[in-house]
Structure 1
Amino acid sequence: MSSNRDAAPFLRRHRLSPEASAYKARRKPSVPIQMPDLTDHAAVERWRAETNALWGDDDDPAVPHGREVIGGIACRVAGPPTGAPILVYAHGGGYVLGSAAVAIPITARLAATGLRVVSVDYRQPPEHPFPAALDDVLAVYLALATGDTPVALAGDSSGGALALGAAVTATGQDLRPSAIALFSPLLDHVSVPGNPLADDEGRRLIDCYAGDVDPADPRLSPLRADLSGLPPVLVHAGADEPLAAQAREFQRKAAAAGVDVTLDLWEHMWHTWHYHDLPEADQALAEAAAFLAAQLTPAEM
């Protein structure tokens, strides 16, 4: 992995695996069902359920996820029992879609490495716009961070904004997480350079969550927050995905603020490839787990 000393990303050059090449050849739209009127709450609820089911929301029998309420928020929990280092995870999906169950392909692989992964089923718009999702992730983190077990934060896509936003708030409250891992994160709602979804759907989802809030609000766009004091951060992004520009800017700003930040840009990979059954996803998540474990495990152990 790269160092933040010169604030330069590490471009991971590699040949696509046969599995990844086959996936790209048959790749379907990110949102497989036509988006409804986002002001129609009942229609959105049906759309979310149908889309999540198509994406896949089954448990992993090898790494089962139990249901727990933590800090008053519903979560899916996997990995070793209490006492293991904890990772609070925020799923992606443009805030409106996705769930802790949909994120199981990521959380199961992280939990299999020895982390206790707490995946937050945060409230979602349009019923619950900003700051409901952020408040829920923060509530789960704060409920766990008051104990003796080290806790890290992670998230993908829009969940990256939630994880980083929660980390910034917690750090300001002297409850800094041990580490942060962000996968293809959305970090700035002011300027989204393209979007990972098709036909401007990403912008509509983001606006549904933000509502009338100023997109420059640092709680909504943590790239614009004071990043000083944050723990070590690992960021993964596809080298050519639209949000790679935000990942680069985050590395620059975080390094300037004195944060130990590593940005790995993966050649040929797409937005949140971590979800898929691919060697590249296995490798990325294994490296992320190793990064997190190094920060979560006391040096004397």
Structure 2
Amino acid sequence: MSTDAAPVIRRHRLSSEAEAYKARRKPSVPITMPDLSDHAAVARWRAETNALWGEDDDPHVPHRREVIGGVACLVAGPPPDAGAPMMVYAHGGGYVLGSAAVAIPITARLAASGLRVMSVDYRQPPEHPFPAALDDVLAVYLALAGDDTPVALAGDSSGGALALGAAVTATARGSQPAAVALFSPLLDHAAVPGSSLVDDEGSRLIDCYAADADPADPRLSPLRADLSGLPAVLVQAAADEPLASQAVEMQARAAAVGTSVTLQLWEHLWHTWHYHDLPEADQALTEAATYLMSGAQSVPHRA
């Protein structure tokens, strides 16, 4: 397999929509974080924050609630009998926040491009620390891929760790995904404490999920996992976001073991710009959908 060992810098002028959004950007977490050991307070905070972020369905690409592999999901895209490439999606939000409904701006555009998208409403901390979220994403993937059907994986931010972690685990079990796409992914929890990769609130969220686990556990920090044998991986990150350094390191580590990682670093943008109604988000997600569909269609079904 060929490898891509250098980032692709996406140089462009920001659209007027992106310029306007940057001028009015608000804090990523709009409500003061409660004591994360107070489960009831966290539940209220999550509900209020998710509502502010937005949980409305897309009328043009409706999502349906289904249980897959024992896990709640939102499903969008072509019907099962259409033969469309399938993808499992893990939303971001620092593990504690976010939901499959919050991720609809991403999953709707991926589904509109022709993918059948299963967006996982994985269990969240503090009630369900590591490895609950990873186990849920993996359960959905394995339920779909159990008959050798090609299934891709994708996720944003902390969901990027879940998607890559599920890909590594599934590959080790002999069930290689068709392709992987990661948007502004968090990949190494051990590099977060005391660093500038995330702010204090982000560190608290990540610690809440990790709980007593070793941050260097490859299941928690897939950058530290064996990346050999993985399918082709696409990573899109903002060139100036702190987590871009982990994406660059992942590309180098993957190339060293023969795994192809296409890394796109987009200038002038920000962490997970994919969520917003912007031409840059449309372009990034269209490219990601093409990448994922190409991977799924290149994997033969086995009788």
Hey, what does 1:194 align to over in structure 2? Answer: 196
1:133-192 deviations in whole A, cap 9, x for unaligned? Answer: 000000000000112431000000000000000000000000000000000000000112
- 1:299 Cα shift? 7.9
- After superposition, where does 1:96-135 map in structure 2 within 5 Å? 96-135=96-135
1:27-67: per-residue Cα shift (whole Å, max 9, x none)? 00000000000000000000000000000001001000000
The match for 1:209 is 209
Structure 2 residue 104 is matched with structure 1 residue 74? no
Q: Scaled by the length of structure 2, what TM-score is found?
A: 0.95
- Which residue of 2 is the match for residue 140 of structure 1? 140
C-alpha contact (below 8 Å) 1:85/1:149 kept by paired residues = no
Provide the rounded CA distance (Å) in 2 between the counterparts of 1:172 and 1:163.
14
Contact 1:195 1:203 in 2 (8 A): no
Q: Tell me the residue number matched to 1:11.
A: 9
Q: Does 1:241 align with 2:237?
A: no
Distance 1:259 1:169 in 2: 15
Q: Distance in 1 between matches of 2:117 and 2:69?
A: 15
User: What residue identity is the alignment partner of 2:251?
Assistant: Q
Contact 2:152–2:180 at 8 Å: present in 1 too?
yes
Amino acid at match of 1:15: R
User: Does the CA contact (< 8 Å) of 2:3 and 2:258 recur in 1?
Assistant: no
Q: Report the CA distance between 1:216 and its aligned residue.
A: 0.4
Other structure's SS at 1:15 match: coil
Alpha-carbon contact 1:126-1:209 (below 8 Å) kept: yes
CA shift for structure 1 position 13: 0.7
Deviations 1:269-296 (A, max 9, x none): 1000000000000000000011111111
2:27 matched to 1:29?
Answer: yes
Distance in 1 between residues matched to 2:300 and 2:53, nearest whole Å: 42
> 1:190 is paired with a residue of what secondary structure?
helix
Kept in 1, the 8 Å contact 2:150–2:299? The answer is no
Match of 1:49 in 2: 47
TM-score, L = length of structure 1: 0.96
Runs of 4+ with deviation above 3 angstroms: 298-301
Q: Secondary structure at the match of 1:288?
A: helix
- Structure 1 portions without partners, runs of 5+: none
Report the CA distance shift for 1:300/1:202 in structure 2 as closer, same or farther (over 3 A). Answer: closer
Give matches, 1:58-73, under 5 Å: 58-73=56-71
- Per the alignment, residue 288 of structure 2 pairs with 288
Kept in 2: contact 1:85–1:296 (CA 8 A): yes
Asked if the contact 1:232/1:261 (under 8 Å) is kept, the reply is: yes
Give the length in aligned residue pairs: 296
Unpaired stretches in structure 2, ≥5 consecutive residues: none
Shift of 1:300: 8.9
Q: Secondary structure at the match of 2:153?
A: strand
In the TM superposition, what is the alpha-carbon distance from 1:297 to its structure 2 partner? 1.1
SS, match of residue 162 in structure 1: helix
C-alpha RMSD over aligned residues? 1.4
Identify the residue that residue 277 of structure 1 maps to in structure 2.
277
